[in-house]
Amino acid sequence: MAATHNNYGANYTLVYQPIDGKPSMPPASKVGGRLRIWHDSYTSTAIESGSTVFVAKMPKMAVLYDAFITAEALGGSATLALGTDAFTVSGTTTAEDPDRFITATVMNGAGKTIAMLPRPTGTANAASTNASGTAHLGVGYEFLTETNIIIRVGGATLAADKVIKVGLIYSID
């Protein structure tokens, strides 16, 4: 049986199906905006589990669409996660969330990459197993204030002199 009712996404509704009959354009960071990249790297010292590496400061009103971390082999059980430092909006402080975008993942293989969204493997259109468990919460995340992005080290002390790279893909205009 054919569906009898159409449903519309929030931004589609604003533009093409406005309730009051007056179309309005969503922010450019959500419709028609340009993607930007923030890339950083960190050469590890023998920092302990629980340590934080600050890698970016997202501007107010930026919208995150993807993120990744890649690294050399960091040691047997060392993990990395990607999230936000604590921030305050209108007097209300939100606690740090060190795995808001990428959950802690063991980085024991050289060149291992973990990402907010799944990446194809060697097989055509096969999903990667290195997608974050928090991706559904991170895609489209809007920063309401300037916010530090952090990598949280876990599991073990990092091996020294290993390069960690991070990339954030976002839109602000």
Q: Taking the C-alpha atoms of 105, 109, 110 and 115 in order, what is their torsion angle to the nearest 10 degrees? A: -30
34-171 has CATH 2.60.120 classification: yes
**132-169 confidence digits (pLDDT tens):** 556 567 889 999 999 999 999 999 998 889 999 999 99
DSSP one-letter code for 85: -
Q: Tell me what pLDDT residue 70 has.
A: 92
**73-118 confidence digits (pLDDT tens):** 887 899 999 999 999 999 999 999 999 999 999 988 888 888 888 7
Neighbours of 108 (CB within 10 A): 16
Give the residue, 89 or 121, on which the prediction is more confident. Answer: 89
Average pLDDT of the chain to the nearest whole number: 86
Question: Across residues 69-74, what is the average pLDDT?
Answer: 90
Q: Report the sign of the C-alpha dihedral through residues 11, 15, 17, 19, in that order.
A: positive
pLDDT score of 128 more than 60: no
Q: Where are the domains of the chain?
A: 34-171
